[in-house]
């Protein structure tokens, strides 16, 4: 993709966790209610609910990293910028 802007990925932090529930502890870790919402609204909600994560909005065609990270939430969007999958820590 010529001229594409690559998302910034934060350093991965997971300690001994290998799933979202382990990461959540005192913070929210899954947001099914955000599917169908604008990505910017979803990112703000996630950041408010869990200040320990970095929210990465991914447009169609962008590939997520395969490693699991407790401090990252991907927000997958459609071509209109609407959340298309349940955002989850990882």
Q: Model-level pTM? A: 0.84
Q: What are 17's two structure tokens?
A: 């966790």
Residue-level pLDDT at 1: 45
Q: At residue 72, what are phi and psi to the nearest 5 degrees? A: -140, 140
Domain ranges of the chain: 20-76
Is the domain covering 20-76 a CATH 3.30.10.10 domain? yes
pLDDT at 82: 98
Angle, alpha carbons 24-15-72 (nearest 5°): 50
Task: Supply 29's token pair.
Answer: 């870790």
pLDDT at site 7: 55
Tally of residues, the chain: 90
Spatial distance between the Cα atoms of 66 and 90, rounded to a whole number of angstroms: 9
pLDDT, one tens digit for every residue, the chain (90 residues): 444 555 566 778 887 888 888 887 789 999 999 999 999 999 999 999 999 899 999 999 888 878 889 999 999 999 999 999 999 999
């Amino acid at each position: 993709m010529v001229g594409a802007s690559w998302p910034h990925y934060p350093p991965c932090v997971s300690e001994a966790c290998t799933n979202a529930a382990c990461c959540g502890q005192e913070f929210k870790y899954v947001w099914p209610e955000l599917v169908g919402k604008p990505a910017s609204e979803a990112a703000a909600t996630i950041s408010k609910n869990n200040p320990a994560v970095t929210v990465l909005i991914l447009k169609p065609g962008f590939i997520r990293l395969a490693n699991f990270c407790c401090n990252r939430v991907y927000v997958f969007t459609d071509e209109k910028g609407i959340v298309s999958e349940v955002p989850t820590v990882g």
